[in-house]
Amino acid sequence: MPTAVTLSRAFTALAFSLFAACVGSSRAAAPAQPHAYAPGPEDPYAGEGGEGDGNEAAFQGQSCPPNASCSFDCDDGGCAFFCAEGSTCAVQCDGGNCQLSCAGDATCNLECDGGNCGTGCGDGATCNVECDGGNCASACAPEASCNTECDGGNCS
C-alpha cells in the first residue's frame, strides 16, 4: 500500500502540473504589429484577360474587350490601355508617356508621338510601336512578336 508521504508527493506533482498547464494556456496574445504598405511596381502583363483571373477589374485605364477591334486616342499623353485576348487595338498617343498592355493572341499598334511609352506584349501577341520621341520600352513575352520603330533613340 502506498504511504501517506507517497500520496502527498503524487498529489503535489499533479497540482503543480495542472497549475503550469493553466498558466501556460492563459497568456494573452501579443499585440498585432503595424505593417507598412507600399504599392508594388506595375506589371506590364497585369490584367491579361481570357484566363478568368479577375485582374481586369483592377486595371486603371481604357480597355478593349476580347475578340474586338478598338481605336483609342490620347491627346495629352499619360494614358493607359489594355487590349484583351484576340483583340486588335490601335492607339494614338500624342503627348507620350502612354502604357499599352497587349494580352495573348492580340494585335496592338501604338503610335507614340511624345516618346516615353511602354508596352507589355503577352504570349502569341503582336505589338508594333512607332516611337517619335525616343525612350520607349517594350516587355515582350517569349512567344510574342514585337517590332519597334524608334525616332529619337534610347528605345528598348
Instruction: Render pLDDT for 25-74 as a digit per residue (tens, 0 to 9).
Output: 455 555 544 444 434 334 444 444 444 444 444 567 899 999 999 999 99
> Please, which pLDDT band fits residue 152 given cuts at 50, 70 and 90?
confident
Question: How far is it, in rounded angstroms, from Cα 146 to Cα 78?
Answer: 22
Which residue, among 106, 94, 103, has the nearest Cα to 44 in the 3D structure?
103
User: Above 60 in pLDDT, residue 98?
Assistant: yes
Q: Which three cell numbers stand for residue 152?
A: 529619337
Identity of residue 90: A
44: its cell numbers = 506590364
- The ranges assigned to domains in the chain are 56-150
pLDDT digits (tens, 9 = 90+) for 114-126: 999 999 999 999 9
What pTM, to 2 d.p., does this model score?
Answer: 0.63
Helix (H, G, I), strand (E, B) or coil at 89: strand
Q: List the grid coordinates of 56.
A: 481586369
CA–CA separation, 45 and 85 (whole Å): 12
User: Rounded to an integer, what distance in angstroms lies between the CA atom of residue 38 and that of residue 51?
Assistant: 27
